[in-house]
Amino acid sequence: MHKRYPDSWYAASVPVRDDEPSLTGDADTDVCVIGAGFTGLSAALTLAEAGRTVTVLEAARVGWGASGRNGGQLIRGFVGQERLAKHWGGARAKDVKALTWAGHDLIRRRMDDYSIDCELTPGWLEVAPTPRQLAMLYHSYNEMETAYPDRGWHMVGARELADTMGSDAYQGGLLSMSDGHLHPLKLCLGLYVACKKLGVQFHEHSPVIRIEEGETVTVHTGDGRVRAKHVVLAANAHHKLYPMKLGGLAFPAGSYLIATEPLEKDALDRLNPHRYAICDTKKVCDYFRMSGDGRVLFGGRVNFSGHRPKSIRDKLMPRLLRIWPELEGVKVTHEWGGKLGVALGEVPLVGRVGENVWYSFGYTGHGVNMGNLMGAILGEAISGHMSRFELFAGVPKWRLPIGRCLGRQVVSSAIVYYWLKDRL
Ligand SMILES: Cc1cc2nc3c(=O)[nH]c(=O)nc-3n(C[C@H](O)[C@H](O)[C@H](O)COP(=O)(O)OP(=O)(O)OC[C@H]3O[C@@H](n4cnc5c(N)ncnc54)[C@H](O)[C@@H]3O)c2cc1C
């Protein structure tokens, strides 16, 4: 049966389009991309721009995975960036730092080049629930202001914060005007249209079930085969294509969102007059923003078991009301969830299986920027420019030498640990 988009506000706010045909029979291409999220779409576009023929196989629909249903928060850098810079040291550490804004710059360039409207709105406010976390934000402010003085930083004290976000639930915040938020499914679909213009072939409802390696790689779906010189595996953390080689490196974590009915303009101006994206500093964080049509989109990391809660609304609404009690009684119109890939060693998982199957996944909560960037980095590596790819591929990967179930329990324990730490 064909998989439809989840019942998200995003899916409800894009035009209906025809499905791409599923793969039948045999096809030949330079590069076969598996997965049409940010990583796959960005790789496909980079390769098509370089003149390669590209075929994309997507198990469900373009943007069906985390890329089309996430919080839409466009956040600089990536989890594990410091660790990666330390690992390399010297000039390569500088190359790692240079990636901080590379995903943002790429997205903006593509929005211009391909006229993609994805409601990009500037401003990301990171808010601290505890004095210790506020001190950490001051520290980051000093570092960021020194490293990137032109990126628009501002420390917001508790009193100013009440005016900036109509709440006294936090101790203060760090505002970055170069981060922001966007409609992630519109970005996916914009990239898809750009790829199509450059001749990329898409097959939806075409889950890949097997990859046969060799000088030419053969990618199998239930009803067809694609022969390619290279394969990009951009299927996030939860495919089962290489259990021995890629299993145990990352875990799917469930994260969930609700969308309210549109609020009156007065309420929007009271609660979030500048329409910033807001995220707290906790490891298990709440993230929220206003949609283009005036809804509150509120998300939170709820579990690491992968099981969707019975009522996402019931889990998230109390958290939202702690921040904005005046929303008591507001209707929730949509609720949905998705899985993001958490890399065990924090650093995104990038590399090759054999010579010509390239992969990248495990961006934790930074995948809007990183999915787009890593797709481009895979694309440029396939074209022979390996230096940015090697920054990631060259680091040792952490793997749990135990079964998936036990692995999940270990990760759940880590979350309890972070939950306690967040309260200090
Ligand atoms: C609820 C939620 C909220 C998030 N919020 C944010 C946020 O606010 N900001 C941020 O930066 N990041 C956020 N993230 C993380 C971010 O969305 C992801 O890191 C990023 O989208 C991953 O992109 P991807 O292309 O690698 O994977 P995905 O978008 O998951 O795409 C993988 C695709 O591969 C397809 N696929 C899988 N297996 C196969 C197969 N065998 N054959 C063919 N196709 C296959 C899937 O159907 C899917 O479409 C969030 C994630 C979730 C789930």
Is 191 within the bounds of a domain?
yes
Residue 387 inside a domain? The answer is yes
Q: Is 376 exposed, middle or buried (0-12, 13-18, 19+ CB in 10 A)?
A: buried
Nearest CA to ligand 1 atom 48: 65
- Which of 186, 223, 340, 372 should be mutated for ligand 1, with most atoms under 8 A from CB? 340
CA distance 309 to 230: 39
The answer to whether residue 257 is domain-embedded is no
Residue 102 lies inside a defined structural domain of this protein:
no
| Lowest-confidence pick of 140-144, 326-330, 364-368, 398-402 | 398-402
**How is residue 102 written in tokens?**
């590379």
| pLDDT at residue 335, rounded to an integer | 97
DSSP letter for 34, please: E
Atom of ligand 1 at shortest range from CA of 287: 8
Q: Are 229 and 214 in contact (CB under 8 A)?
A: no
* CATH code: domain of residue 40: 3.50.50.60
Of residues 25 and 243, more confidently modeled: 25
26-62: burial string, b at 16+ Cβ within 10 Å, e else? ebebbbbbbbbbbbbbbbbbbbbbbebbbbbbbbbbb
Domain count, the chain: 1
Proportion of the chain above pLDDT 90, given as a percent: 83
**CB count in 10 Å sphere of residue 250:** 27
Reported as a single tens digit per residue, the pLDDT across 52-80 is 999 999 999 999 999 999 999 999 999 99
- Closest C-alpha to 353, from 237, 230, 240: 230
What pLDDT was estimated at residue 258?
98
Q: What is the pLDDT of residues 363-422, one digit of tens each?
A: 988 999 999 999 999 999 999 999 999 999 999 998 876 545 445 555 555 555 454 555
Domain for residue 221, yes or no?
A: yes
The closest alpha carbon to 184, from 366, 312, 355, 380, belongs to: 366
Tell me, yes or no, whether 62 lies in a domain.
yes
| Mean pLDDT, residues 31-36 taken together | 98
| Domain ranges, residue 360 | 9-69+185-250+344-401
Number of Cβ atoms within 10 Å of the Cβ of 153: 18
User: Stretch 139-166: mean pLDDT, rounded?
Assistant: 95
Distance from residue 373's CA to the centre of ligand 1 (Å): 14
Buried b (16+ CB within 10 A) or exposed e, 180-190: bbbbbbbbbbb
* Ligand 1 atom nearest to 257, measured from its CA: 1
End-to-end CA separation in angstroms for the chain: 48
Report residue 98 as tokens.
């240079």
Question: Does residue 381 lie within any of the structural domains?
Answer: yes
Which of 39, 67, 206 maximizes ligand 1 atoms within 8 Å of its Cβ, making it the mutation to test the pocket? Answer: 67
Q: Is residue 386 one of the residues assigned to a domain?
A: yes
